[in-house]
Structure 1
Amino acid sequence: MQNITILGSTGSIGVSTLDVLALHPDRYAVYALTAHTRIQQLAQQCAQFKPQVAVVGNADSAKELSRLLLAKGLTTEVTYGEQALCDVASASGCDTVMAAIVGAAGLASSLAAAHAGKKILLANKEALVMSGQLFIDAVRSSGATLLPIDSEHNAVFQCLPESYQRDPAAMGVVKILLTASGGPFLHRSVETLDTVTPAEAVAHPTWVMGRKISVDSATMMNKGLEVIEAHWLFGAPASQIDVVIHPQSVIHSMVSYIDGSVLAQLGNPDMRTPIAYALAYPERIASGVVPLDLTAIGQLQFTKPDLNRFPCLKLAYDALLAGGSAATVLNAANEVAVEAFLNGKVGFRMIDQLIARTMDKLPVSDVTDINSLLEQDQLARSAVRAFIS
């Protein structure tokens, strides 16, 4: 029996994780659930899965959740704040942590799980993008297990030998090929992207995701962050990580080997597949996903990404090559720019321009600890806000 903490249980990954857990009550129990503001939904999840602890964003939310749980006759302990997130991620009563809080907000709790030696199911790519070597060092020193949940990285993980240890050459790996759907604007005229609305940007043609990650998919910053994440997960340099546009989203990613073999992982676009794989690794369990029917799909298409259409992808490669604080600045600038776009303060094509300006403004520096990382994160956010205003 594994005891699971889900950081971000009311988001799309959290909900999908609970769907898988519900299929296997004999294997998994929920230790803690966390949410920031969706208190009603969190209360419903607590009623179904009966966690020992529930964590929310602030004191007012904690009072509201306590009232709702009391009315349901539940004894779940309610806490709040970032330290509470770190506590449930590192608690002795927890074996496995699903790290699914979006963006930089999930960094501290994900790192806490790493330092505590937990089995970490990493759906928060930004945590690894920001902290890079710090995160990998924490996993190594504590003996934690790090399993990727992003469909692309989970696919790569499945296509690599079980003994793989972040050394492509040792295993004959030539390329890691990350597939990308191309998002909602793959075929839209580049000249019209200035007029894109938030509603259009979040309407992803394949995946059901949150608003921020949907915009990242539309700009392909999501894929750029995945390139950086792949570097840290698999030890591959930028020159060995390629992005391939694959609109059907059936091949989730591939690994090319020195003997000419290319191994691919296929499946219907449903996050319950990588979640189930990581939960049971190295075994496999039912995920509830409908089996893939290749004859119904008919054909699979592949093209190279157009960097004029998707400049955010190039910015991410630039940040990976620059090293140091560059990826932290990239991620922070993107979070603020996307939020401004969703709130109607800037246009769609201003997102990549704001990120580029911020990266030009802030010199690359060494990130030696969490404090220096957070300092660069805040400098980048301040710079973007100044550009916007």
Structure 2
Amino acid sequence: MSPRSLTLLGSTGSIGTQAIDVVRAHPDRFRMQALAAGGGDLRSLARQAAELRVDQVAIARDDTGARSELADALDEAARAAGLRAYRPEIHTGPDAAERVAGQGADVVLNGITGSIGLRPTLAALAAGSTLALANKESLIVGGTLVTRAARPGQIVPVDSEHSAIAQALRAGARGEVRRLVLTASGGPFRGRSRAELADVTPQEALAHPTWDMGQVVTTNSATLVNKGLEVIEAHLLFDVPFDAIEVVVHPQSIVHSMVEFVDGSTLAQASPPTMHIPIALGLSWPERLADVAPACDWTRASTWDFLPLDDEAFPAVRLAEQVGRAGGTAPAVYNAANEVCVAAFHEHRLPFLGIVDVVAEVVDEHVGGNSASPSGVDLTVEEVLAADGWAREAAARSIDRRPRD
């Protein structure tokens, strides 16, 4: 079996570094063709490129020194690795990831954070690559723009919840599925009332009890915006109506999601909380790689809890369902407004509860106000990006209008 060629977008982030762990452990199965990153950590990117001997390296930076700085970092990494004359092709600028995503690798793993992953997602699909999708935002904001571009089975989910559902769905026919059950850890504030969330700090929001993620995703987990995005993602990936998608809080993060069938059976995918398993499946789908991570230890006593979601304290999930039903550019507005609000929260310009409150305000203005939301059928990239930009400006205005303590 010849190795699969891979392109990795977001290589220096959490998903990217864990994907490289998988590739490093299975060198006979994969050949890394290209790496892309934002460009904030050129030394790490260069070390990855030299270790994997990739053909192309891309960064989103477009300042005058970007290319030369990356070239210097690559030269330094090549010398440290004992490589002679190693000089991969360099791409810089906002469209750099899109360019390498469209080069036709067997698999493109999109691990970029945020809606900037949309164009690379579309480029990978257009090139015929299998898209291992960790960048949920590109699917959510793109909606039918992305699903129409994909052939059946071309998108393989990498989020642990959607990977779990994809695995469980292999046990039954489409018509046998009653509902999807997405599990949520509940984040660091599980069990708190809305009043008890008024004064939480950015440091507290980043203290996730289970997962080690970046600032945006960890904060989204604390507000449960991340789970709201995943509800929309499940609807789009599996073509299941919102009424047939449920969220349940599972603090242990061992059961990653479940599928309930019409006969009353429920299949759950369980494994210790590690992203290595869904990442490995995304790269090797539909096959499994051996010994990716330790399995559950069934010789030790354990208890798993499942709790209902508190919609009053954490309204982000129900808001996401409303946004998903509205369709069009509404999901792009939800996502973009949230990114602005998360940044403002960490800059101490917005309280924790203000994150979802502002997002709801911006969504209401977009859906019911003077900013029309095109239908999903007619959606274009330009309309999505325009809605994204409008939402960022509207969120910033709303934040500026709010009283400061």
**Aligned position for 2:403:** none
Asked if 2 retains the 8 angstrom alpha-carbon contact of 1:128 and 1:135, the reply is yes
Pick the aligned partner of 2:278 from 274, 277, 288.
274
Structure 1 CA distance for aligned equivalents of residues 398 and 233 of structure 2: 28
Structure 2 CA distance for aligned equivalents of residues 64 and 234 of structure 1: 43
**Aligned position for 2:128:** 117
**Aligned position for 1:44:** 47
**Aligned position for 2:60:** 57
**Aligned position for 1:360:** 364
Q: Percent identity?
A: 42
**Aligned position for 2:382:** 371
Asked if 1 retains the 8 angstrom alpha-carbon contact of 2:60 and 2:96, the reply is no
1:296 CA drift (Å): 3.4
1:80 CA drift (Å): 0.9
Higher mean alpha-carbon deviation, 192-201 vs 219-228, is at 192-201
Paired residue secondary structure (1:203): coil
Paired residue secondary structure (2:257): strand
**Aligned position for 1:341:** 345
| Structure 2 unmatched runs, 5+ | 80-85, 401-405
Asked if 1 retains the 8 angstrom alpha-carbon contact of 2:8 and 2:16, the reply is yes
| Structure 1 unmatched runs, 5+ | none
Paired residue secondary structure (2:46): helix
Q: What's the RMSD between the two structures over aligned residues?
A: 1.5
CA-to-aligned-CA distance 1:302-337 (integer Å, 9 cap, x gap): 011001110111110110122222111111111111
Structure 1 CA distance for aligned equivalents of residues 52 and 326 of structure 2: 45
Pick the aligned partner of 1:299 from 277, 298, 303.
303
Letter in 1 for 2:87: T
Asked if 2 retains the 8 angstrom alpha-carbon contact of 1:177 and 1:253, the reply is yes
Asked if 2 retains the 8 angstrom alpha-carbon contact of 1:7 and 1:98, the reply is yes
1:66 CA drift (Å): 0.6
1:338 CA drift (Å): 0.8
Question: TM-score normalized by structure 1?
Answer: 0.95
**Aligned position for 2:93:** 81
**Aligned position for 1:148:** 157
Structure 1 CA distance for aligned equivalents of residues 262 and 333 of structure 2: 35
1:288 CA drift (Å): 3.4
Question: TM-score normalized by structure 2?
Answer: 0.91
Asked if 1 retains the 8 angstrom alpha-carbon contact of 2:67 and 2:90, the reply is yes
Match status 1:330 vs 2:342: no
Paired residue secondary structure (1:290): coil
Letter in 1 for 2:317: L
**Moved segments of 4+, more than 3 Å:** 294-297
Q: How many residues align?
A: 381
1:349 CA drift (Å): 0.7
- Cα gap change, 1:340 to 1:296, in 2 (>3 Å): farther
Pick the aligned partner of 2:204 from 196, 200, 203.
200
Which runs of structure 2 are paired with 1:145-294 in the superposition (5 Å)?
Answer: 145-161=154-170, 168=174, 170=175, 172-294=176-298
Structure 1 CA distance for aligned equivalents of residues 220 and 67 of structure 2: 31
Structure 2 CA distance for aligned equivalents of residues 146 and 40 of structure 1: 31
Structure 2 CA distance for aligned equivalents of residues 29 and 163 of structure 1: 33
Asked if 1 retains the 8 angstrom alpha-carbon contact of 2:259 and 2:268, the reply is yes
Higher mean alpha-carbon deviation, 38-47 vs 97-106, is at 38-47
